[in-house]
Amino acid sequence: MQKGTYKSFSLLFIIVILNYMAQIPYDIHLYAGRFNPIGAVMLVGTLLWFLIGFNLVLKQSRMGYWLLFSFLVVQFLFYFHGQIILMLWGYGLFYHLLRFNDMILWWVFFIGDVNFFTAAFYIYYLWKKRKSLIKNHINKS
């Protein structure tokens, strides 16, 4: 592992974990804590997808690279879709950050938007650094 790789991925780890942690007060606040088994399975499944990919990337695994890369693409598309829906209904980009008086919702949406930009950055980063991030890569010169 190259020196600094752990440090360069620590921001990604912190932001994604904060996003998952934010879902707890969001669920309690909006749904009065009513348990949604499908939502719980999806959250746990996507969290495992991220954690496995993240840990394997740190070990320079090709599988880890593609797991993390695919997770970030799906995360980016999820938040991008949300922004497009806001625009289609006549709201501007990041409308929810400008109009909400509810601080729990504001923070959850803010963390989501940070995840949106973080995913975009790390998709770019992973793509640019793919040869150095995958151990035993085949160099086709």
pLDDT digits (tens, 9 = 90+) for 78-110: 999 988 887 788 776 667 777 767 888 888 888
Is 130 exposed, middle or buried (CB count within 10 Å of its CB: 0-12, 13-18, 19+)?
middle
**Structure-block tokens of residue 70:** 């695919």
Q: Per the domain annotation, does 141 fall within a domain?
A: no
Q: Per the domain annotation, does 140 fall within a domain?
A: no
Q: How many domains does the chain have?
A: 1
Q: Per the domain annotation, does 139 fall within a domain?
A: no
User: What's the pLDDT tens digit per position in 14-55?
Assistant: 999 999 999 988 888 888 878 888 888 999 999 999 999 999
CB 131 within 8 A of CB 139: yes
pLDDT at 82: 83
Q: Per the domain annotation, does 138 fall within a domain?
A: no
Q: Per the domain annotation, does 110 fall within a domain?
A: yes
Residue 74: is its pLDDT beyond 90?
A: yes
Q: pTM, whole model, 2 decimals?
A: 0.84
Give the range of the structural domain holding residue 103, as residue numbers without chain letter: 5-133
Q: Per the domain annotation, does 54 fall within a domain?
A: yes
